[in-house]
Structure 1
Amino acid sequence: MDAQLGTTLTFSQMLFITLHSLPSFLDWSKHTSLPRLKPRQVPFARWAAQVLVLTTGSLLNNWAYAYNVPLTVQIVFRSAGLAVSMLFGYTFLKKRYSIAQIAAVIFVSVGVVVVTLSRPSSTHASDPLSPWRYSLGVLMLTVSLLLTGVLGMLQELTYSRYGPCWKEGVFYTHFLSLPIFVFLVPDIKAGFRSLSSQPPATAALVPYLVLAANLITQLICVSGVNQLTSRVSSVSTNLVLTTRKAISLCFSVWWFGNGWNTQLGLGAGMVFLGSLLYTLVSAGSAGSGSGPKTSARKGPKRKHE
């Protein structure tokens, strides 16, 4: 997969989710023949900040496919979002965590490092630029991971102040991202040409069917994550995402045969075991009345035109 196809995938996801959500946010007034957007519950500036973070992170994440980073490594690497969420919660939201919770997250972080270093040395061994490409891909994933943490924090702050308006969040964060792709039109066109230029043995519609399946699953994932973030903290959301990534990892190894080795297995086990330990510790803390402090969620504010 090349970087241009990654851009096409990101654009397709943004456009599809926007078109799916648009009818719910149109106001067909009797006084005008053209529809207009309904009043917002959240100020425009808050959505704009999330758009910049979401689009940049999505592009970097999809571009990483073109830099020799195996899918299994990507899945486990992104599971470090739990540690990033905790770090941002401690630094910016003034949350406090127990020693056991911190230890669990460190366990996850070490596991991610083990996985990152697990790439088979034989892969692209004849290409002298391969280590540099792999390092660049890991750098992209690192920046994308940090941006994901920023996005989770922004979403948590928004929903805690303006109420659980997750549907509005899904629509505006995707709708407002579309103008950014004006600067990436050549890459988008090249990506669609790549989808159409499959070998003769491959059915012409198969790549587009795969793309359609990706768009539908992305819609379900984005809607679920935003709804979850509107109800719980970003750290708890990342726990759910880590579980989903565990399932994705198992499916990837089983279906695609994506380079499983002992080091990758060890690192993946550390990531998922650390996430499980964090869940158990947090559940125990909640039952005893302690644990990370979160702000009470307030009701919705006035509408914004």
Structure 2
Amino acid sequence: MVEKETQGSNEKTDAKGAVSFTSIIIMILTLIICCSNVLLLEKIVKEAPNCTAFVTFSAYFTIVAQTIVFRPGLLFNYTIPLHNYVIITILFYTTNLSNNMALSYSVDMPTLLIFRSGSLLANMVVSIIAFRRSYPVSKYVSVLMVTVGIIVATLASADLKKSSSDEATFGVWMVGITMLTYALFGSAVMGVFQEKLFAKFGKKSDEVLFFSHLLGLPAFVFNYRDLAQTIVDFNHSEPVSILGFNIPFLWCCITANVALQTLGIKCIFYLLSEWSSLAVTMVTTLRKFISLLLSIFLFKNPFTLPHWIGTTLVFTGSALFSGIIPLPESKVKTQ
């Protein structure tokens, strides 16, 4: 699951200070689209557990194909020399693949969502190391809440795995957790390199997005066995009738997954052009929480009291850090 969230610009309001009706509709659509996409991904993985490499490849291929069709000039007219993309491409490929492949290693979707909400922790740690940045005490407290929440939820999941499966299955789950941990901090490190590129060449986000996908495509040759097996599995899935044609169910799902992901990105970028980054952060945090609840109830994922405590700490800490829940100290400037 290639997750693409960003931060943006100032909030635009009308003369009365109210956001536009169109923005509200786009926000609601964003929540519906993003939550549907998460649930659809979970359904695909449950039907074909080894398909996660193919899901990642599909997202890569779609981004590259769209750019070549609608912005072909970007392929030849670029600002950042290609050798600058080496580290970013490697990190982008490995972190996205690790995030998605963790679902094939007995990690359930709620655990994945909780882990991905820990990006604040990883970004802060990497920023302190790379840029020697300092933060207000409230930021450290909120990140501590997120950290404790992730640990509590992970330990709760570990107890469930130990009690409900054999030692080999628990070992597989540990591999998945390790992959999520790498993806968490790998993404933060990638952000540092991207920030340095922007400082040197200007904010060329479309260019970075395109070339990090294009240059990463050849790496999927290492996953050719999984890709080939996934195609076979998809072809043999139960057919559904669409406009008189019988189409394998999983091919319908992956097509919808890619389409929803693309549409979701466009909705988020629209909101960034109309709302503040804080408001968009609130929307993305809310969609993670709604996706978590839907995954628990629709797919009967086990979720105990410690999971709820950990989840509360993670999302409350995220809200405090982002300013969704204001604190007096939030007026202190971050260096």
Task: Answer with 206-215 or 173-182: which moved more.
Answer: 206-215
> Larger % of helix: which?
2
The correspondence for 1:68, drawn from 106, 113, 119, is 106
1:226 deviates by: 8.5
Contact 1:114/1:266, CA 8 A, preserved across alignment: yes
Distance verdict in 2 for CA 1:235–1:109, change over 3 Å:
farther
Of all paired residues, the percent bearing the same amino acid is: 25
1:92 deviates by: 0.3
Given the alignment of the two structures, is residue 108 of structure 1 paired with residue 146 of structure 2, yes or no?
yes
The correspondence for 2:312, drawn from 263, 269, 282, is 269
The correspondence for 2:129, drawn from 80, 91, 106, is 91
Given the alignment of the two structures, is residue 197 of structure 1 paired with residue 236 of structure 2, yes or no?
yes
Distance verdict in 2 for CA 1:292–1:92, change over 3 Å:
same
Q: Distance in 2 between matches of 1:76 and 1:272?
A: 9
Match of 1:132 in 2: 171
Q: Distance in 2 between matches of 1:237 and 1:53?
A: 25
Contact 1:3/1:64, CA 8 A, preserved across alignment: no
Match of 1:13 in 2: 59
SS of aligned partner of 1:292: coil
SS of aligned partner of 2:334: coil
Contact 1:82/1:238, CA 8 A, preserved across alignment: no
The correspondence for 2:219, drawn from 180, 186, 199, is 180
Q: Distance in 2 between matches of 1:236 and 1:47?
A: 31
How many residues align structurally? 281
Contact 1:7/1:187, CA 8 A, preserved across alignment: yes
- Counterpart code for 2:190: L
Q: Distance in 1 between matches of 2:279 and 2:310?
A: 21
Which ranges of structure 1 fall in alignment gaps of 5 or more residues?
28-35, 294-305
- Counterpart code for 1:196: N
- Counterpart code for 1:181: F
SS of aligned partner of 1:117: helix
CA RMSD of aligned residues (A): 3.3
Match of 1:53 in 2: 91
Q: TM-score, normalised by structure 2?
A: 0.73
Distance verdict in 2 for CA 1:273–1:287, change over 3 Å:
closer
Task: Please list the CA deviations of residues 208-229 of structure 1 after superposition, one character each: whole Å capped at 9, or x if unmatched.
Answer: 1211122123334556789999
Match of 1:301 in 2: none
The correspondence for 1:207, drawn from 244, 250, 253, is 250
Distance verdict in 2 for CA 1:80–1:227, change over 3 Å:
farther
Match of 2:26 in 1: none
Task: Answer with 130-139 or 43-52: which moved more.
Answer: 43-52
SS of aligned partner of 2:156: coil
Q: TM-score, normalised by structure 1?
A: 0.80
Q: Distance in 2 between matches of 1:144 and 1:69?
A: 14
Distance verdict in 2 for CA 1:81–1:134, change over 3 Å:
same
Task: Answer with 220-229 or 179-188: which moved more.
Answer: 220-229
Task: Please list the CA deviations of residues 29-53 of structure 1 after superposition, one character each: whole Å capped at 9, or x if unmatched.
Answer: xxxxxxx933212221222321110
